[in-house]
Structures are given as structure tokens and as C-alpha cells.
Chain A
Amino acid sequence: MTRLDARGLAVDLGRKPVLGGIDLAFEAGSLTVVVGPNGAGKTTLIRALAGLLKPRQGAVRLDGRALSDLSGHERARSIAYLPQSATLAWPLPVAGVAALGRLPHGETPDALTLEGREAVRTALHAVGLEGFETRPATDLSGGERARVLLARALATQAPVLLVDEPVAALDPRHQLIVLDILRAKARSGATVVAIMHDLTLAARHADRIVLLEGGRIRAEGPPETVLTEAHLAESFGIAAHVTHQDGRLTVTPDRPLP
């Protein structure tokens, strides 16, 4: 069981303080969705959780060990990270891209171990891209390419998966597919953290919501306690209707508040 926690975390970008006073613990087996207005520090938070930013104060710990004490490969084997609008520089084959997720295990795409091959196959199966293995990933549609990159993150088989806006540029069907994959990953015992802008999708799929605003945590907990009309007005500056139907939450943004 892997536990990721941030204690007293403060992060600066350059000299600008972006995050402060962040105390969060992420338990294995749950999907946490981070929401917040643009510029709230969501990406900075997830990059700090991934160990890619050095905090000014506090630390991120993986099972009690500070990320800064881990070697690059150790960290990469434990935490898979999918950045926002990730790109692919070369027309590599789909299976070759997914196989890059095995690099932290010391495996290369042309020399995968049996375990590595199985991990790549499982990852491509999870994202529904079997049969695409030899196609150049750059020739695929946006939705397919996003799934290839997600497969790359899954192929690492890291106990922690951090994804930054995984559904932002996808059609509704692909959004639901990707969220199902993230939930399945969490059910299998992983710690999954995702940044999202679609509040209804977040409410319906997340086990827990973290609402970030101005670099601080405004609220956190189950979706129905965080995504309230009062919180949305205060943090996003919108008037929104939150309705509960059959235990499912729907957030309908109505108008911006003055």
C-alpha cells in the first residue's frame, strides 16, 4: 500500500509564491480530483507531488520517505505522471510509446523483459488500443493519442498515478473512457490524482475532491461536501446550480458573479 502525502508544502515558481500551507494525504485505492479556477496552482501542486518541483517549505513523502531522498529512477518507478497536453516529438509506433513507460525499470523499447511486454500489452488493452501497436502514434486522432500517452503512464505500473487534465481536449465518449480507466486503476489499489475542469464529471467519478484557490486548499472531502453552491461562488466566482439525483451530483454553471 502506497501512501503519498504533502506536509506543510509551499512552492515558488521563480520568486513567485504559488502554493502555500498544503497538507494533503492520498490513500491507496482512491481517485482524488483536484479542481480550481485557472491559476489556482493545480499544475504546480501535481508537479510538486510528482517530485518535479523543489518545494520551498515542507516535503512530499512517499510511504514516509521524502521524494528528494529518492533517486530519479526510484521515484519514476513509484510515481507515473502524465502532464497536461503532453506531446510526442517523433512518429514512434504506439507500442513503442507505451514501452517508454518501462524506462524507469531499466527496460528499453527494443529490449523489454517478459514482464515489460506484459505491462505494455495490459496498458494498451486498458485504453482499448489493441491492434494499433505498429501504427505511428502521431497519425492517430487526438482522442487516440491521449489514450496512447495514458497507456505510457500505465505501463510503468507505478503505485501512484498523477494526471494533469487528462480529459480536457477529448470528446464526451473519450472523457468517460479515460475516467473509467483512472477509476479502474484506483480500484486495483493505486493512488490516483487527477486535475479536471469539468465539475460534473469530477463529482461523479472522484472519491474525493480537493478545491484549490489562490495556492491554498479551500475545501476537501467527498464531492457533495466540496462542490456546494457556496464554495463555487466563493472560489470560481460563479453562480451554479448543484442538483442531487439518485445520489449523483450535477453541477450546472449558470452565470459569472460580478
Chain B
Amino acid sequence: MLRSTKPLILGLLALAGGLALASLMLGPAPLSPGLALKALVTDQGSASVVVREIRLPRTLLALLIGWTFGLTGAALQGLLRNPLADTSVFGASQAAAFGAVSVLYFGLVGALSWALPAAAIGGALLSIGLVVAVAGRSTTVVVLVLAGLAVGSLAGAATSLAISLSPNPFAVTEIVFWLLGSLEDRSLTHLWLAFPFCLLASGLLLACGPGLRALALGEETAASLGVNVPRLRFGIVLASALGTGAAVAVAGSIGFVGLVVPHLIRPLVGHDPARALVPAGLAGAALLLAADIAVRLIPTPAEVKIGVLTALIGVPFFLWIIARRKAELSETPA
């Protein structure tokens, strides 16, 4: 009855694979595809150092974070039955950044400690939980977006305050790091710090598929179809916080991937939220990696922050969705 999503998934995997290879090749010292692959598996001197220690962690992080964001965005839009839902709209990245900054500046832990993702996850959980609690049941899209805006602005201001009060002479650079994410100069240690949380988040979100399908008919009907709606809501909120918090802890806040990706996927898989999950994750991975390659190629004195690029693309996209769906957004409760 419905087309299988397998060809699309295979296509997206191939796309992500191609982009990963490009990502290993491209940078200040470009390598040929053959040399990049050879340098990855065998020792090729300085080429191996570049590929294994600089470009591989960055590539894998982009894939991991992009996957998590894509999956989270698709699940949140399904949960709230709202095409404007995403952690970046809920201010979760800013709240996660605030969590991370708080432990760094007041808790005095190192930049590679488990406390960092834990605090970032705490911040994200607080903001997503707050927005879903305020706007999750039967309020309009406007309330949802406003609640997210308020939470995000508050967290952003709190982060800036915390940093400006700190004795760190590099405070301004730090603000830029936390408020506009980047994947530059990350190591495999960063990857391992984020990986377990992203894995857990992915597992939780993928398990929510059947519940999200039923939710298309509203909470009451979903409950009558045997879905435990409070548990579903809690699972998705928790998973979104885990993914966002872990990503922000290692890469700063990178927004709008989760918002954009489900819209790119829907024309191909239809509107069933469960069918969109895996393709949205893969498309998110490909999109973020493509963005990370783009910031390396844009000829600027210092690398453009990837968070700037995703916001530059994501915000106009967000406005476009609002403009296109204005009539229905003004009436339908989320």
C-alpha cells in the first residue's frame, strides 16, 4: 500500500558515505580520495595525522550529531503534531549551553569530564520539559514558539552573564563557542563523550515509532489504541534532552537541523511520523556534514562557525514554513 522507505534509506546512506569521504579529503591541505582512504587505514606520515586526528573525529561528530538532531526533530514534530517543533525552537541548545557553562565556571570541572554532558543534558531537559509542559497539550503553535523563545532567550542571557562574570580572559571567545557551535579541532575523546548519550537517545526515539503513528489521531485516540501517552511524551522529551545535551557539550549549540530535515523528508516518505524517523536521522547526518564541509570551503580568514551557517539557513526556512502554513497554524492547536 505504501512505498517502502528502503531505497531512500540506502540512498541517504550512500550520500552520507560520499560526504564522509569528501570530509576526509577537504581542508587546508586537500587530499585525493585514494590518499585520504589510505591515510585512514595505513600510516602515510603527515597525511595520516591530518586524516585520523583532525578530519575523522570531525566527520564522525558531524554524522553523530546530525543524526541525533534529525531524529529528535522528527520525533518532536510527531509528538507535538506540529511542523515547527524542534529543540532549537524550544531553546534547548541555549539551555544546554548554560548547563555546560555553569559546571565549567562554578563547578570547576575539566572540559572533557562526564559532568559536562550531564549538566548540558540537565539544562536541555529543563527547557524541553518546560516547553512541552507549557505548550504540549492543547495550546496553539504560537504559544509553543513563544514559550521556546522565552526559555531560549533566558538561557542565552544567563550563559552570557555567567561568562562575563568569570575571571577567564578569553570569555568572549568562550561565549562564541557555546552560543554558536563548531566542529573545528575536536578529538575522538569528544566523540566518545557524546556517543553513549546519542546512542541511548536514538534507541529511545526509534522505539517510539508506533506511538507517534497513533498520536496523529490525537492523544485520546492514541490512548484508546493502547499507547501509553504520558510514557511516550516522557521518553521523547528525555531522549531529546540526552541528544541535544550531549551534542552541545562537545560542539556548542548548532540549531535548526532537526527543524529543517523532517520537511525535506516528508515529500519522499509521506507524513507518517514513524516512517520519517530513520530517513530524517540520516538526512540530518548528511546535512550537518555537508554544512561542516561548506564552512571549510568558504574562503574566510577564520572558519565560519557551523552554528552560524545552520542558523543562516534554518531561520529563513522556519519563517518560510510559518508563511506557507499561516492559515492552518493560526487555528490548529498543537
Contacts and interface: CB of A to CB of B under 8 A. Distances in A.
Q: Do A and B bind each other?
A: yes
Interface of A: 47, 50-52, 71-77, 79-83, 86-93, 95-97, 99-101, 103-104, 108-110, 112, 117, 133, 149, 152, 156
A109 to B, nearest CB: 6
Contacts of B227: 72, 103
B270 A92 contact: yes
B78 to A, nearest CB: 9
Given A76-B225, A109-B1, 10 more contacts: A52-B220, A81-B224, A88-B216, A90-B271, A96-B1, A96-B272, A110-B1, A110-B272, A149-B217, A152-B217
B213 A103 contact: yes
Nearest to A156: B225
Contact of B216 (A77, A83, A100, A133): A100
Interface of B is mostly: loop
B215 interface: yes
Given A87-B218, A99-B1, A108 B213 contact: yes
Contacts of B228: 72
A156 B5 CA distance: 25
A79 B225 CA distance: 9
A51 B220 CA distance: 11
Nearest to A51: B224
Contacts of A101: 225
B139 interface: no
Contacts of B210: 103, 108
A81 B221 contact: yes
Among B1, B217, B275, chain A packs the most CB atoms within 10 A around the CB of B217
Contacts, number: 95
Interface string B246-271: 00000000000000000000000011
Interface residues of B, number: 27
A97 B1 CA distance: 12
A92 B220 contact: no
A92 B272 contact: yes
Contacts of A77: 226
B4 interface: yes
A89 B216 contact: yes
B66 interface: no
A76 B226 contact: yes
A88 B274 contact: no
A176 B227 CA distance: 32
Given A99-B1, A108-B210, A91 B271 contact: yes
5 contacts: A89-B215, A92-B216, A96-B1, A104-B225, A108-B213
Interface string B266-299: 0000111111000000000000000000000000
B272 to A, nearest CB: 6
A89 B272 contact: no
B108 interface: no
B2 interface: yes
B2 A110 contact: yes
A90 B263 CA distance: 12
A108 B55 CA distance: 41
Nearest to A103: B225
A75 B224 CA distance: 8
B52 interface: no
A83 to B, nearest CB: 5
Contacts of B217: 86-89, 97, 100, 149, 152
A112 B226 contact: no
A96 B221 contact: no
A75 B209 CA distance: 20
Contact of B275 (A71, A76, A83, A110): A110
A72 B213 CA distance: 16
B2 A50 contact: no
B1 A86 contact: no
A108 B209 CA distance: 10
Interface string B19-45: 000000000000000000000000000
Given A72-B226, A76-B225, A103-B210, A83 B272 contact: no
Contacts of A73: 226
A93 B225 contact: no
Nearest to A77: B226
A97 B226 CA distance: 16
Given A110-B1, A110-B2, A117-B1, A103 B224 contact: no
Contacts of B213: 100, 103, 108-109
Nearest to A79: B224
B322 to A, nearest CB: 17
Interface string B204-234: 0000011001111110110111111000000
A92 B271 contact: yes
Contacts of A90: 81, 216, 271-273
B263 to A, nearest CB: 12
Nearest to B2: A110
Contacts of A81: 220-221, 224
Interface string B111-127: 00000000000000000
B122 to A, nearest CB: 31
Contacts of A133: 1
A103 B273 contact: no
